[in-house]
Amino acid sequence: MGEFAGICGLSEAEFAELLEYGVLPADTLADEQICFSREYIEPVQTAYRKAKDFDLDVCAAAIFMEYLIEIHQLRNELAALKARITGQ
């Protein structure tokens, strides 16, 4: 968890607070460590940067992050569908 927070530019306390909102899907490994997908690094970094720019509280940042993650996932799905269509 600390490594992911550091990569995203957040302190562990800030990251833990965001996790309380349940925005980031996480996997628990066999040794009880929490693992996050790399695909969430960019949305987390962007949301955190915008939260600082606009002086947003953690709740607003979490909502913003949730939308960024959803947009990111939809863009990936669209790209995959376009690839399937052009590949046929």
| Ordered DSSP codes for the chain | -HHHHHHHT--HHHHHHHHHTT-S--EE-TTS-EE--GGGHHHHHHHHHHHHHTT--HHHHHHHHHHHHHHHHHHHHHHHHHHHHHH-
pLDDT of the chain, 88 residues: tens digit per residue: 678 888 888 888 888 888 888 877 777 665 667 777 888 888 888 888 888 899 988 888 888 888 988 998 899 999 999 999 987 6
Q: In this structure, what are the phi and psi dihedrals at residue 28, rounded to the nearest 5 degrees?
A: -100, 125
Residue whose tokens read 């927070």: 5
The CATH number given to 2-87 is: 1.10.1660.10
Please state the pTM of the whole predicted model: 0.71
User: Which pLDDT value is given to residue 29?
Assistant: 65
